[in-house]
């Protein structure tokens, strides 16, 4: 059904492809769409949020472990995956916030860093690109930087005068932001309480009024809601259409609405 169609999802760290848009990618892979995950950094400064893995030997091998996790995610989702090769910036914490480490992704020049993604777009030739909004989904410097370079690359990839050494021009047809619907978390919270379960979202709901949601790891609160309950209460993933060179009816229920008719006609 989706033969000839290509989807690119631009993420900042290994694991974000699994917590943001995984069901969408698996759906399109099953339909025959060629899906590529572009991972901007290696996740070298990630946190170990699973208490069962908070051990010195895990911290010592965190970069290797995250690459292994990416390998498994790629296999499970059935997608292709590519590393852009930038270095994880880490999530600064404290008041005042500490400076970002030299050489990290978030400190790269946006226009220079975007060339790597332009090259990937021109090589893969996606029809649809997924990324993050201006706040990065939540204010992690690498999420925000991913947004910045994706916007530059999407607009530049089809322009032969920009990045002339990065391959033959290719213009993707649609760009979407991943969305974190607050109503989803409220619905899951209420459903868990109704089932007599303790909700892991109670302390987070006030924060959600001001910020989009932040993901966690297994054994963390964001994965504590049973999958069966999630499928019943909120069985969809949400996206915001930001750029489009095709006509499509709204609201959409297909990222390739308007694209399929042009490509597969």
Whole-number Å distance between alpha carbons of 183 and 185: 5
10-residue mean pLDDT profile of the chain (265 residues): values are 89 85 94 96 77 74 85 95 93 82 94 98 98 81 94 98 98 92 69 78 60 47 67 79 93 93 74
- Domains, in order of start, for the chain: 6-180+237-263 (3.40.50.10320), 182-231 (no CATH)
- Quick one: which of 148, 149, 168, 150 has its CA closest to 158? 168
Long-range CB pairs of 49-53, under 8 A, 24+ apart, other chains included: 49/216, 49/217, 49/219, 49/220, 50/217, 50/218, 50/219, 50/220, 51/219, 52/219
First to last CA, the chain: 12
Asked whether 150 and 142 are in contact (CB, 8 A), the reply is no
């Amino acid at each position: 059904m989706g033969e000839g169609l290509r989807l690119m999802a631009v993420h900042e760290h290994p694991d974000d492809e699994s917590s943001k848009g995984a069901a969408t990618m698996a759906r399109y892979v099953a339909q025959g769409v060629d899906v590529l995950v572009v991972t901007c950094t290696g996740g070298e400064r990630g946190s170990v949020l699973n208490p069962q893995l908070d051990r010195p030997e895990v911290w010592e091998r965190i970069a290797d472990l995250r690459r292994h996790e990416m390998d498994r995610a790629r296999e499970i989702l059935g997608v292709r995956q590519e590393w852009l090769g930038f270095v994880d910036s880490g999530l600064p914490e404290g008041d005042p916030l500490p400076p970002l480490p030299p050489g990290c992704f978030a400190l790269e020049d946006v226009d220079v860093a975007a060339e790597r993604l332009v090259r990937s777009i021109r090589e893969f030739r996606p029809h649809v690109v997924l990324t993050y909004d201006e706040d990065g989904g939540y204010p992690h410097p690498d999420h925000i930087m991913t947004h910045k370079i994706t916007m530059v690359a999407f607009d530049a990839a089809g322009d032969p005068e920009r990045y002339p050494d990065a391959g033959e021009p290719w213009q993707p047809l649609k760009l979407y932001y991943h969305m974190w619907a607050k109503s989803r978390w409220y619905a899951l919270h209420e459903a868990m309480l109704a089932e007599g379960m303790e909700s892991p979202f109670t302390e987070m709901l006030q924060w959600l009024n001001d910020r989009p949601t932040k993901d966690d790891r297994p054994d963390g609160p964001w994965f504590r809601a049973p999958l069966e309950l999630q499928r019943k209460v909120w069985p969809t993933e949400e996206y915001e259409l930001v750029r489009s060179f095709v006509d499509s009816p709204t609201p959409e229920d297909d990222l390739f609405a308007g694209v399929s008719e042009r490509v597969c006609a």
